Amino acid sequence: MEADGWDLVEDAADADVAVVNTCGFVEAAKKDSVDALLEANDLKGHGRTQAVVAVGCMAERYGKDLAEALPEADGVLGFDDYTDISDRLQTILNGGIHASHTPRDRRKLLPISPADRQGSAASVSLPGHGPAAEEPQPAPADLPEGLAPASGPRAPLRRRLDGSPVASVKLASGCDRRCSFCAIPSFRGSFISRRPSDVLNETRWLAEQGVKEIMLVSENNTSYGKDLGDIRLLESLLPELAEVDGLERVRVSYLQPAEMRPGLIDVLTSTPKVMPYFDLSFQHSAPGVLRAMRRFGDTDRFLELLDTIRGKAPQAGVRSNFIVGFPGETEADLAELERFLNGARLDAIGVFGYSDEEGTEAATYDNKLDEEVVAERLARVSRLAEELVSQRAEERVDETVQVLVESVDDEGVYGRGAHQAPETDGQVLLTSGAGLRVGRMVEAKVVGTEGVDLVAEPLDGSLGCSEEAGR
């Protein structure tokens, strides 16, 4: 958009058009998205803002239905509108009407066989993906300062919105799994990888901007490369990313337990600068519930996987999310989940109560639990999870951790250890911070805990020294 002459402003009240990115999965996120659109709409008539436009997954998933249900939005743009978004916004700003799309199952836009997808992807809008190019193309001469060029003559550009030392990098989009509770594949489409050169080029640019840690994100990182002819491509890409000048950490999010393989575990636990961090999507551990979810595994197999990981990296960080109250879940199933949680020693746990997602297989199941039962089980497992992650944090007392400093202010110096992902897994409070600044790596000894958070004392030589020595 900036390359087309638009200016990004800090305050929405200073914008001609407010573009609201939305989420289309789970009710709480949908509500937040609607609230954000209504908040933006309140700006009209009180400032410069003339139009409010919805983009993102909720806009894609509901299209014209969202436009009809939410007249406060002057436009609802789906993924196919992104390549022409400047024209779309200008039309709306000029008082014109852009007809919102009729939603469709995006899994049907690409070939069923992953090996056939890359050649077909050029005709499908894939947010975050650019046209493939064998060699990086030079940036346009009039590219505004601070924008990241990517390969391809019209590839997506990137601007950093803050000075954080951490940034996400998109690895792939879509998902081929058919979990019975999940609607995401229907509006995000089939799985397709970004090319390694694109991921590397973006990472190099981020490092030049001062980023110290990248977080690789997608709906399923363990599938990376299968549509490029190499299901083990992540194992070769991670060491290359770790060698990018200026980068201190590479972290991988969202791994499928059923797709974990020995080689990937080896790379994640033994490669310098690649964090031994495992964001494993367990969802449950009772075999019957997992089968109903169209997933695989059980308590003992999951515990064996964790034993394998910790046998190679004892301090590895592990987090996961779980759904309780799934249709047909029995008290015995819940007890099996609790057995797993008690044995898993997870660093971070997210617990969600089941609710129907329209268009999913699970929404058609008969044996639904009463809402009161789901709420009770959610509260019960959430209490257990809070207790267990606090215990796991206490196990780390006396460990030495490498802390990436993320904030330095009157409230203290905070950062994260290798086992903690940004925003979701807790943080580390340093007991002293003389001479520290955001982006520094500090070696520290854990001396206490505050729930899931750690309190750590910087070791001699970590403070008041050069950045290089601080590493």
Domain 152-395 has CATH 2.60.40.60: no
Cα dihedral 98, 29, 255, 342 in deg (nearest 10): -170
Q: How far apart are CA 350 and CA 352, in angstroms?
A: 7
- Residue 408 pLDDT greater than 80, yes or no: yes
Residue 307 has pLDDT above 50, yes or no: yes
Lowest mean pLDDT among 12-16, 210-214, 246-250, 316-320: 12-16
- Mean of pLDDT values over 454-470: 66
pLDDT at position 207 is 93
At 334 the pLDDT is 98
Nearest Cα to 202, choosing from 256, 158, 236, 166? Answer: 158
For 371-402, write each residue's pLDDT tens digit: 999 999 999 999 999 999 999 999 999 999 99
Residue with tokens 């958070």: 453
- Predicted local distance difference test score (pLDDT) of residue 149: 56
Element holding 457 (H helix, E strand): strand 453-458
CA 283 to chain centroid, in Å, comes to 16
Tell me, what's the pLDDT at 146? 61
In terms of Cβ atoms closer than 10 Å to its own Cβ (0-12, 13-18, 19+), residue 451 is exposed
Residue 434 has pLDDT above 90, yes or no: no
pLDDT, residue 468, reads 41
Q: Are 118 and 124 in contact (CB under 8 A)?
A: no
Domain ranges of the chain: 2-94, 152-395, 399-458
pLDDT per residue over 117-175, tens digit each?
A: 887 777 888 887 765 444 444 444 454 566 565 544 334 467 888 889 999 999 999 99
For residues 270-278, give the mean pLDDT: 97
Closest CA to 430 of 422, 375, 471, 417: 417
Predicted pLDDT of residue 462: 62
Mean pLDDT value across the chain: 90
Closest CA to 17 of 36, 56, 44, 38: 44
Q: Is 182 annotated as a binding residue?
A: yes
- Alpha-carbon distance of 319 to 421, in angstroms, equals 9
Q: pLDDT at position 26, please?
A: 78
Q: Tell me, letter by letter, the H, E, C secondary structure of 46-89.
A: CCCCCEEEEEEHHHHHHHHHHHHHCCCCCEECCHHHHHHHHHHH
* For residue 470, pLDDT beyond 50: no
Helices (H) and strands (E) in the chain, counts: 13, 18
Q: In the CATH scheme, what is the code of domain 399-458? A: 2.40.50.140
Distances (CA, A) of 468 to 77, 206, 213, 464: 46, 19, 16, 11
Which residue, among 438, 470, 450, has the nearest Cα to 210 in the 3D structure?
438
